Amino acid sequence: MALTCEICGRPIRGQAYKILVAGAVLTVCESCRRYGTPLPSRPPQPHRVMPVRRARPVRRVERGLFGEELRVVDDFNIVVRRARESLGWTQDFLASQVGEKVSVIRRIEAGSLTPSIELARRLEKALGVRLLERVEEEERPKLSTGDFALTLGDVIRVKRRERGRR
């Protein structure tokens, strides 16, 4: 069965064209194709080179004992290295204290590996430092009851700590 031109109603001989007319896609014959804009056979594919981003350690978030969200502090690598050095510990010794491979400690101190919450806890205990912080809820003025306009994104907003780079 031959296609029918959706503009002139005649059967389409030869090539059928898809054109855009007032937002609608029509299949038309050769002589009617001028009434619309030709439809690209394929949406243009921008050939873009994606910027190569340096892999940043994944920031893990975990719920604490009271349902609060915990995450590893941003400068964990500095905290760990300073604490270890001030204790006079080698990386090997620290590794043995927390039951990890020395390569893990090395990568943590280099900042290329974010410790899991669980490992951060062990490091905290071994080194006597704080490596976990709460993902704080944004301070908000008290709202009258019945005001439910708040979205989750409003309430749970990670408060970035201002901190000078060392």
Task: Give the interface with Zn ion as residue ranges (CB under 5 A).
Answer: 5, 7-8, 29, 32
Nearer to Zn ion, 5 or 72 (CB): 5
- Least separation in angstroms between residue 29's CB and Zn ion is 4
Q: Measure the CA–CA gap between 86 and 107, rounded to whole angstroms.
A: 19
Minimum CB distance to Zn ion, residue 24 (Å): 15
Which lies closer to Zn ion via its Cβ, residue 30 or residue 92?
A: 30
**Helix/strand/coil (H/E/C) assignment for every residue in 15-32:** CCEEEEECCEEEEECHHH
Residue 30 tokens, joined: 């050769």
CB of 36 to Zn ion, least distance (A): 11
Residues 82 and 85: their CA atoms lie apart, in Å, by 5
Query: Residue 73: which of 153, 161, 11, 10 has the closest Cα?
Result: 161
Of 6 and 109, CB closest to Zn ion: 6
